[in-house]
Structure 1
Amino acid sequence: MVAAWIAQLTRGILALALGLTITLTLEHTPVFGLVTFGAFAVLAGVVLLGATFFGAYAGRMRAGFLAQGVATLAAGIVALAVPGGGVAFLAILVGAWALVAGLLEGASGLLARKLSPLARDWIIAGVLTLALGAVALLLPADFEQALVGEKGATGTLTSSVILIGVIGAWAVLVGVLQTISAVTVRSVRSGARADRVVAS
Protein backbone atom coordinates (compact mmCIF):
# COMPACT_ATOMS: atom_id res chain seq x y z
CA MET A 1 0.00 0.00 0.00
CA VAL A 2 1.53 3.29 -1.14
CA ALA A 3 1.12 6.03 1.49
CA ALA A 4 -0.64 9.21 0.36
CA TRP A 5 2.30 11.42 1.29
CA ILE A 6 4.68 9.33 -0.83
CA ALA A 7 2.44 9.70 -3.87
CA GLN A 8 2.14 13.44 -3.28
CA LEU A 9 5.91 13.77 -2.85
CA THR A 10 6.57 11.81 -6.04
CA ARG A 11 4.20 14.05 -7.99
CA GLY A 12 5.97 17.09 -6.56
CA ILE A 13 9.41 15.80 -7.51
CA LEU A 14 8.30 15.09 -11.07
CA ALA A 15 6.83 18.59 -11.42
CA LEU A 16 9.98 20.17 -10.00
CA ALA A 17 12.12 18.12 -12.39
CA LEU A 18 10.07 19.48 -15.31
CA GLY A 19 10.31 23.04 -14.03
CA LEU A 20 14.05 22.90 -13.42
CA THR A 21 14.71 21.27 -16.79
CA ILE A 22 12.86 24.10 -18.54
CA THR A 23 14.52 26.77 -16.39
CA LEU A 24 18.03 25.48 -17.07
CA THR A 25 17.50 25.08 -20.83
CA LEU A 26 17.80 28.13 -23.07
CA GLU A 27 16.37 26.64 -26.28
CA HIS A 28 12.60 26.67 -25.75
CA THR A 29 11.49 25.16 -29.03
CA PRO A 30 8.18 23.34 -29.61
CA VAL A 31 10.07 20.04 -29.91
CA PHE A 32 11.73 20.62 -26.55
CA GLY A 33 8.37 21.52 -25.02
CA LEU A 34 6.60 18.46 -26.36
CA VAL A 35 9.36 16.05 -25.33
CA THR A 36 9.79 17.43 -21.81
CA PHE A 37 6.05 17.77 -21.18
CA GLY A 38 5.46 14.33 -22.66
CA ALA A 39 8.04 12.66 -20.42
CA PHE A 40 6.62 14.43 -17.37
CA ALA A 41 3.02 13.57 -18.22
CA VAL A 42 3.73 9.88 -18.85
CA LEU A 43 5.55 9.51 -15.52
CA ALA A 44 3.01 11.63 -13.62
CA GLY A 45 0.12 9.66 -15.12
CA VAL A 46 1.70 6.35 -14.14
CA VAL A 47 2.34 7.60 -10.59
CA LEU A 48 -1.21 8.89 -10.24
CA LEU A 49 -2.74 5.65 -11.53
CA GLY A 50 -0.45 3.54 -9.35
CA ALA A 51 -1.19 5.62 -6.25
CA THR A 52 -4.92 5.38 -6.93
CA PHE A 53 -4.98 1.64 -7.61
CA PHE A 54 -2.41 0.51 -5.04
CA GLY A 55 -2.46 3.21 -2.38
CA ALA A 56 -4.55 5.43 -0.15
CA TYR A 57 -3.88 8.61 -2.13
CA ALA A 58 -7.33 9.20 -3.64
CA GLY A 59 -9.51 7.68 -0.94
CA ARG A 60 -13.15 8.16 -1.93
CA MET A 61 -12.07 10.42 -4.80
CA ARG A 62 -10.80 7.40 -6.76
CA ALA A 63 -12.90 8.03 -9.90
CA GLY A 64 -11.67 11.60 -10.34
CA PHE A 65 -8.01 10.72 -9.89
CA LEU A 66 -8.30 7.68 -12.15
CA ALA A 67 -9.71 9.91 -14.89
CA GLN A 68 -6.96 12.46 -14.25
CA GLY A 69 -4.30 9.77 -14.42
CA VAL A 70 -5.64 8.42 -17.71
CA ALA A 71 -5.86 11.93 -19.20
CA THR A 72 -2.33 12.77 -18.08
CA LEU A 73 -0.85 9.53 -19.39
CA ALA A 74 -2.68 9.94 -22.71
CA ALA A 75 -1.46 13.54 -23.10
CA GLY A 76 2.11 12.42 -22.45
CA ILE A 77 1.93 9.62 -24.99
CA VAL A 78 0.50 11.95 -27.65
CA ALA A 79 3.20 14.56 -26.96
CA LEU A 80 6.00 12.01 -27.29
CA ALA A 81 4.42 10.45 -30.38
CA VAL A 82 4.26 13.80 -32.23
CA PRO A 83 7.36 15.76 -31.13
CA GLY A 84 7.31 17.79 -34.34
CA GLY A 85 3.73 18.97 -33.92
CA GLY A 86 4.68 22.63 -33.57
CA VAL A 87 3.78 25.36 -31.13
CA ALA A 88 0.04 25.38 -31.93
CA PHE A 89 -0.14 21.64 -31.30
CA LEU A 90 1.77 22.02 -28.03
CA ALA A 91 -0.55 24.80 -26.90
CA ILE A 92 -3.73 22.87 -27.71
CA LEU A 93 -2.44 19.66 -26.13
CA VAL A 94 -1.19 21.30 -22.94
CA GLY A 95 -4.24 23.59 -22.76
CA ALA A 96 -6.76 20.77 -23.15
CA TRP A 97 -4.91 18.53 -20.69
CA ALA A 98 -4.57 21.32 -18.13
CA LEU A 99 -8.27 22.19 -18.24
CA VAL A 100 -9.30 18.56 -17.77
CA ALA A 101 -6.68 17.78 -15.11
CA GLY A 102 -7.27 21.07 -13.29
CA LEU A 103 -11.02 20.57 -13.13
CA LEU A 104 -10.67 16.98 -11.94
CA GLU A 105 -8.08 17.75 -9.26
CA GLY A 106 -9.88 20.88 -8.07
CA ALA A 107 -13.22 19.05 -7.89
CA SER A 108 -11.62 16.15 -6.01
CA GLY A 109 -10.16 18.60 -3.52
CA LEU A 110 -13.47 20.34 -2.97
CA LEU A 111 -15.26 17.04 -2.41
CA ALA A 112 -12.54 15.77 -0.06
CA ARG A 113 -12.29 18.84 2.20
CA LYS A 114 -13.35 16.87 5.28
CA LEU A 115 -11.86 13.57 4.14
CA SER A 116 -8.20 14.19 3.28
CA PRO A 117 -5.44 16.44 4.66
CA LEU A 118 -4.34 16.96 1.04
CA ALA A 119 -7.67 18.40 -0.09
CA ARG A 120 -6.62 22.07 0.12
CA ASP A 121 -3.48 21.39 -1.89
CA TRP A 122 -5.48 19.54 -4.54
CA ILE A 123 -7.72 22.60 -4.86
CA ILE A 124 -4.76 24.98 -5.21
CA ALA A 125 -3.03 22.69 -7.73
CA GLY A 126 -6.28 22.46 -9.66
CA VAL A 127 -6.59 26.25 -9.85
CA LEU A 128 -2.97 26.63 -10.97
CA THR A 129 -3.44 23.96 -13.62
CA LEU A 130 -6.61 25.65 -14.90
CA ALA A 131 -4.65 28.90 -15.19
CA LEU A 132 -2.00 27.07 -17.23
CA GLY A 133 -4.70 25.76 -19.53
CA ALA A 134 -6.19 29.19 -20.05
CA VAL A 135 -2.82 30.74 -20.91
CA ALA A 136 -1.93 27.91 -23.29
CA LEU A 137 -5.21 28.17 -25.21
CA LEU A 138 -5.37 31.98 -25.30
CA LEU A 139 -1.76 32.61 -26.32
CA PRO A 140 -1.52 33.47 -30.05
CA ALA A 141 0.50 30.76 -31.81
CA ASP A 142 2.15 33.28 -34.15
CA PHE A 143 3.28 35.79 -31.50
CA GLU A 144 6.76 37.14 -32.15
CA GLN A 145 8.46 40.26 -30.80
CA ALA A 146 12.03 41.45 -31.19
CA LEU A 147 13.83 42.37 -27.98
CA VAL A 148 16.84 44.59 -27.41
CA GLY A 149 18.68 44.12 -24.12
CA GLU A 150 21.63 45.73 -22.44
CA LYS A 151 24.76 46.48 -24.50
CA GLY A 152 22.82 46.03 -27.72
CA ALA A 153 22.03 42.35 -27.19
CA THR A 154 19.07 41.26 -29.32
CA GLY A 155 16.64 38.40 -29.17
CA THR A 156 13.16 37.32 -30.15
CA LEU A 157 10.29 36.58 -27.81
CA THR A 158 8.00 34.01 -29.41
CA SER A 159 4.86 32.16 -28.39
CA SER A 160 6.95 29.02 -27.96
CA VAL A 161 9.29 30.74 -25.50
CA ILE A 162 6.36 32.20 -23.55
CA LEU A 163 4.36 28.97 -23.45
CA ILE A 164 7.26 26.77 -22.36
CA GLY A 165 8.26 29.38 -19.79
CA VAL A 166 4.72 29.36 -18.38
CA ILE A 167 4.76 25.55 -18.25
CA GLY A 168 8.04 25.73 -16.34
CA ALA A 169 6.67 28.30 -13.88
CA TRP A 170 3.53 26.19 -13.33
CA ALA A 171 5.66 23.09 -12.75
CA VAL A 172 7.83 24.81 -10.14
CA LEU A 173 4.82 26.25 -8.27
CA VAL A 174 2.92 22.96 -8.26
CA GLY A 175 6.05 20.96 -7.45
CA VAL A 176 6.88 23.12 -4.44
CA LEU A 177 3.26 22.98 -3.25
CA GLN A 178 3.05 19.20 -3.53
CA THR A 179 6.44 18.62 -1.94
CA ILE A 180 5.67 20.85 1.04
CA SER A 181 2.23 19.31 1.55
CA ALA A 182 3.70 15.80 1.41
CA VAL A 183 6.30 16.63 4.06
CA THR A 184 3.63 18.33 6.19
CA VAL A 185 1.28 15.35 6.05
CA ARG A 186 4.15 13.00 6.83
CA SER A 187 5.22 15.10 9.83
CA VAL A 188 1.69 15.32 11.21
CA ARG A 189 1.18 11.57 10.96
CA SER A 190 4.56 10.84 12.53
CA GLY A 191 3.69 13.17 15.40
CA ALA A 192 0.33 11.51 15.88
CA ARG A 193 1.94 8.06 16.05
CA ALA A 194 4.48 9.32 18.59
CA ASP A 195 1.69 10.77 20.74
CA ARG A 196 -0.13 7.44 20.70
CA VAL A 197 3.02 5.58 21.76
CA VAL A 198 3.65 8.00 24.66
CA ALA A 199 0.02 7.85 25.75
CA SER A 200 0.10 4.08 25.85
Structure 2
Amino acid sequence: MVAAWIAQLARGVLALTLGITITLTLDHSPAFGLVTFGVFALLSGAVLVVASLRTAYAGRMRAGFLAQGIATGAAGILAVAVPNGGVAFLAILVGAWAVVTGLLEGASGILGRAFAPLSRDWIITGALTVALGVVAFVLPPDFTQAFSGERGVSGTLTSSVILIGVVGAWAILVGVLQVISAITIRTDRAVRSSATDRVVAS
Protein backbone atom coordinates (compact mmCIF):
# COMPACT_ATOMS: atom_id res chain seq x y z
CA MET A 1 0.00 0.00 0.00
CA VAL A 2 1.32 3.45 -0.95
CA ALA A 3 2.33 5.61 2.00
CA ALA A 4 0.09 8.48 3.08
CA TRP A 5 2.79 11.10 2.60
CA ILE A 6 2.91 10.44 -1.15
CA ALA A 7 -0.77 11.29 -1.59
CA GLN A 8 -0.35 14.40 0.57
CA LEU A 9 2.66 15.46 -1.48
CA ALA A 10 0.76 14.95 -4.73
CA ARG A 11 -2.07 17.15 -3.45
CA GLY A 12 0.42 19.83 -2.42
CA VAL A 13 2.24 19.82 -5.74
CA LEU A 14 -1.04 20.17 -7.66
CA ALA A 15 -2.14 23.08 -5.46
CA LEU A 16 1.22 24.83 -5.80
CA THR A 17 1.12 24.35 -9.57
CA LEU A 18 -2.29 26.04 -9.68
CA GLY A 19 -1.12 28.89 -7.47
CA ILE A 20 2.09 29.49 -9.41
CA THR A 21 0.27 29.32 -12.76
CA ILE A 22 -2.20 31.98 -11.60
CA THR A 23 0.56 34.15 -10.12
CA LEU A 24 2.64 34.10 -13.30
CA THR A 25 -0.28 34.70 -15.67
CA LEU A 26 -1.59 38.22 -16.33
CA ASP A 27 -4.85 37.01 -17.87
CA HIS A 28 -7.27 36.58 -14.98
CA SER A 29 -10.35 36.26 -17.15
CA PRO A 30 -13.23 33.96 -16.15
CA ALA A 31 -12.28 31.56 -18.97
CA PHE A 32 -8.72 31.31 -17.66
CA GLY A 33 -10.02 30.75 -14.14
CA LEU A 34 -12.42 28.02 -15.22
CA VAL A 35 -9.85 26.14 -17.29
CA THR A 36 -7.05 26.29 -14.70
CA PHE A 37 -9.36 25.46 -11.81
CA GLY A 38 -10.96 22.70 -13.89
CA VAL A 39 -7.65 21.00 -14.67
CA PHE A 40 -6.57 21.29 -11.04
CA ALA A 41 -9.88 19.88 -9.78
CA LEU A 42 -9.84 16.96 -12.21
CA LEU A 43 -6.32 15.94 -11.20
CA SER A 44 -6.91 16.56 -7.49
CA GLY A 45 -10.15 14.62 -7.58
CA ALA A 46 -8.37 11.67 -9.17
CA VAL A 47 -5.64 11.81 -6.53
CA LEU A 48 -8.21 11.86 -3.72
CA VAL A 49 -10.20 8.95 -5.14
CA VAL A 50 -7.08 6.84 -5.63
CA ALA A 51 -5.73 7.89 -2.22
CA SER A 52 -9.01 6.90 -0.58
CA LEU A 53 -9.24 3.49 -2.24
CA ARG A 54 -5.66 2.38 -2.82
CA THR A 55 -3.40 4.04 -0.24
CA ALA A 56 -3.06 4.51 3.51
CA TYR A 57 -3.89 8.21 3.19
CA ALA A 58 -7.51 8.38 4.37
CA GLY A 59 -7.46 5.52 6.86
CA ARG A 60 -10.77 5.28 8.70
CA MET A 61 -11.93 8.50 7.02
CA ARG A 62 -12.08 6.84 3.61
CA ALA A 63 -15.75 7.68 2.95
CA GLY A 64 -15.25 11.38 3.55
CA PHE A 65 -12.22 11.66 1.27
CA LEU A 66 -13.87 9.53 -1.39
CA ALA A 67 -16.86 11.91 -1.38
CA GLN A 68 -14.45 14.84 -1.49
CA GLY A 69 -12.63 13.35 -4.47
CA ILE A 70 -15.86 12.73 -6.37
CA ALA A 71 -17.11 16.27 -5.65
CA THR A 72 -13.77 17.74 -6.74
CA GLY A 73 -13.72 15.72 -9.96
CA ALA A 74 -17.30 16.73 -10.74
CA ALA A 75 -16.41 20.41 -10.23
CA GLY A 76 -13.46 19.97 -12.57
CA ILE A 77 -15.63 18.42 -15.26
CA LEU A 78 -18.14 21.29 -15.03
CA ALA A 79 -15.39 23.92 -15.19
CA VAL A 80 -13.72 22.40 -18.24
CA ALA A 81 -17.04 21.71 -19.97
CA VAL A 82 -18.23 25.33 -19.63
CA PRO A 83 -15.10 27.48 -20.09
CA ASN A 84 -17.18 30.46 -21.21
CA GLY A 85 -19.55 30.35 -18.25
CA GLY A 86 -18.50 33.77 -17.02
CA VAL A 87 -17.48 35.13 -13.65
CA ALA A 88 -20.81 34.38 -11.92
CA PHE A 89 -20.59 30.72 -12.93
CA LEU A 90 -16.96 30.58 -11.80
CA ALA A 91 -17.83 32.11 -8.42
CA ILE A 92 -20.76 29.76 -7.81
CA LEU A 93 -18.77 26.71 -8.89
CA VAL A 94 -15.69 27.55 -6.82
CA GLY A 95 -17.82 28.62 -3.88
CA ALA A 96 -19.94 25.46 -3.82
CA TRP A 97 -16.92 23.21 -4.32
CA ALA A 98 -14.90 24.96 -1.64
CA VAL A 99 -17.62 24.90 1.02
CA VAL A 100 -18.53 21.24 0.41
CA THR A 101 -14.99 19.89 0.20
CA GLY A 102 -13.71 22.18 2.96
CA LEU A 103 -16.36 20.93 5.36
CA LEU A 104 -15.65 17.32 4.38
CA GLU A 105 -11.90 17.71 4.92
CA GLY A 106 -12.33 19.62 8.15
CA ALA A 107 -14.73 17.01 9.49
CA SER A 108 -12.28 14.24 8.58
CA GLY A 109 -9.55 16.06 10.46
CA ILE A 110 -11.68 16.58 13.56
CA LEU A 111 -12.92 12.98 13.62
CA GLY A 112 -9.44 11.61 12.95
CA ARG A 113 -7.52 13.55 15.60
CA ALA A 114 -6.96 10.48 17.75
CA PHE A 115 -5.38 8.31 15.07
CA ALA A 116 -4.58 10.22 11.85
CA PRO A 117 -1.15 11.94 11.72
CA LEU A 118 -2.45 14.37 9.09
CA SER A 119 -5.58 15.37 11.02
CA ARG A 120 -4.32 18.84 11.97
CA ASP A 121 -3.41 19.58 8.36
CA TRP A 122 -6.81 18.37 7.19
CA ILE A 123 -8.49 20.73 9.67
CA ILE A 124 -6.41 23.71 8.53
CA THR A 125 -6.91 22.90 4.85
CA GLY A 126 -10.63 22.50 5.42
CA ALA A 127 -10.86 25.88 7.17
CA LEU A 128 -8.89 27.65 4.42
CA THR A 129 -11.03 26.02 1.75
CA VAL A 130 -14.30 27.02 3.43
CA ALA A 131 -12.93 30.59 3.68
CA LEU A 132 -12.27 30.51 -0.07
CA GLY A 133 -15.86 29.43 -0.63
CA VAL A 134 -17.21 32.28 1.49
CA VAL A 135 -15.16 34.82 -0.48
CA ALA A 136 -16.40 33.36 -3.77
CA PHE A 137 -20.02 33.61 -2.65
CA VAL A 138 -19.91 37.14 -1.18
CA LEU A 139 -17.84 38.73 -3.97
CA PRO A 140 -20.17 40.77 -6.24
CA PRO A 141 -19.89 39.33 -9.78
CA ASP A 142 -20.20 42.80 -11.36
CA PHE A 143 -17.53 44.50 -9.25
CA THR A 144 -15.33 46.88 -11.28
CA GLN A 145 -12.95 49.53 -10.04
CA ALA A 146 -10.32 51.50 -11.94
CA PHE A 147 -6.98 52.02 -10.24
CA SER A 148 -3.69 53.79 -10.87
CA GLY A 149 -0.36 52.83 -9.41
CA GLU A 150 3.20 54.04 -9.40
CA ARG A 151 4.83 55.31 -12.60
CA GLY A 152 1.47 55.91 -14.24
CA VAL A 153 0.45 52.27 -14.26
CA SER A 154 -3.33 51.95 -14.39
CA GLY A 155 -5.87 49.23 -14.86
CA THR A 156 -9.22 47.87 -13.82
CA LEU A 157 -9.83 45.65 -10.82
CA THR A 158 -12.73 43.30 -11.49
CA SER A 159 -14.44 40.51 -9.59
CA SER A 160 -12.77 38.02 -11.91
CA VAL A 161 -9.30 39.35 -11.10
CA ILE A 162 -10.03 39.33 -7.37
CA LEU A 163 -11.57 35.85 -7.32
CA ILE A 164 -8.82 34.22 -9.38
CA GLY A 165 -6.21 35.99 -7.27
CA VAL A 166 -7.82 34.65 -4.10
CA VAL A 167 -7.89 31.15 -5.60
CA GLY A 168 -4.18 31.50 -6.37
CA ALA A 169 -3.38 32.66 -2.84
CA TRP A 170 -5.43 29.78 -1.39
CA ALA A 171 -3.64 27.29 -3.63
CA ILE A 172 -0.19 28.49 -2.58
CA LEU A 173 -1.06 28.46 1.14
CA VAL A 174 -2.62 25.00 0.97
CA GLY A 175 0.10 23.67 -1.31
CA VAL A 176 2.91 24.79 0.99
CA LEU A 177 1.08 23.33 4.00
CA GLN A 178 0.55 19.99 2.29
CA VAL A 179 4.09 19.70 0.97
CA ILE A 180 5.55 20.52 4.39
CA SER A 181 3.28 18.03 6.16
CA ALA A 182 4.13 15.34 3.60
CA ILE A 183 7.86 15.86 4.16
CA THR A 184 7.33 15.95 7.93
CA ILE A 185 5.48 12.64 8.18
CA ARG A 186 7.94 11.08 5.73
CA THR A 187 10.86 12.22 7.90
CA ASP A 188 9.16 11.06 11.10
CA ARG A 189 8.52 7.68 9.55
CA ALA A 190 12.16 7.35 8.51
CA VAL A 191 13.33 8.33 12.01
CA ARG A 192 11.03 5.78 13.66
CA SER A 193 12.13 3.09 11.23
CA SER A 194 15.81 3.86 11.93
CA ALA A 195 15.21 3.77 15.67
CA THR A 196 13.43 0.41 15.38
CA ASP A 197 16.29 -1.01 13.32
CA ARG A 198 18.81 0.08 15.98
CA VAL A 199 16.76 -1.54 18.73
CA VAL A 200 16.49 -4.80 16.80
CA ALA A 201 20.19 -4.75 15.97
CA SER A 202 21.14 -4.24 19.60
| TM-score interval for Structure 1 and Structure 2 normalised by the shorter chain | over 0.9
Q: Secondary structure in 2 aligned to 1:155? A: strand
Cα-to-partner distance string for 1:122-179 (whole Å, 9 max, x where unaligned): 0000000000000000000000000011122210000000000000000000000000
Per-residue CA deviation, residues 55-113 of structure 1 (Å, 9 max, x unaligned), is 11000001100100000000000000000000000000000000000000000000000
Match of 1:158 in 2: 158
Corresponding letter in the other structure for 1:26: L
Aligned to 2:134: 134
Provide the C-alpha distance between the structure 1 equivalents of 2:4 and 2:72, rounded to a whole number of angstroms.
19
Runs of 4 or more above 4 Å deviation? none
Partner of 1:77: 77
Residue in structure 2 matched with residue 15 of structure 1 by the alignment: 15
Match for 2:129: what amino acid?
T
Segments of structure 1 that go 5 or more residues without pairing to the other structure are none
Count of aligned residue pairs for this structure pair: 200
Structure 2 distance, partners of 1:64, 1:2, is 19
Name the TM-score, length of structure 2 as normaliser.
0.98
| 1:55 counterpart residue number | 55
**RMSD over aligned Cα atoms:** 0.5
- For 1:185 and 1:125, the matched residues in 2 are separated by 16
Q: 1 CA distance for matches of 2:169 and 2:49?
A: 25
Alpha-carbon distance in structure 1 between the residues aligned to 2:152 and 2:54: 57
Provide the residue aligned with 1:97 in structure 2: 97
Identity of counterpart residues, as a percentage?
69
Tell me the TM-score normalized by structure 1.
Answer: 0.99
**1:3 and 2:3 are equivalent in the alignment:** yes
* Structure 2: gaps spanning 5 or more residues: none
Distance in 2 (CA, whole Å) between partners of 1:121 and 1:61 is: 14
Distance in 2 separating the partners of 1:165 and 1:137: 15
| Secondary structure of the structure 1 residue equivalent to 2:140 | coil
* Aligned counterparts of 2:152 and 2:191: Cα–Cα separation in 1: 57
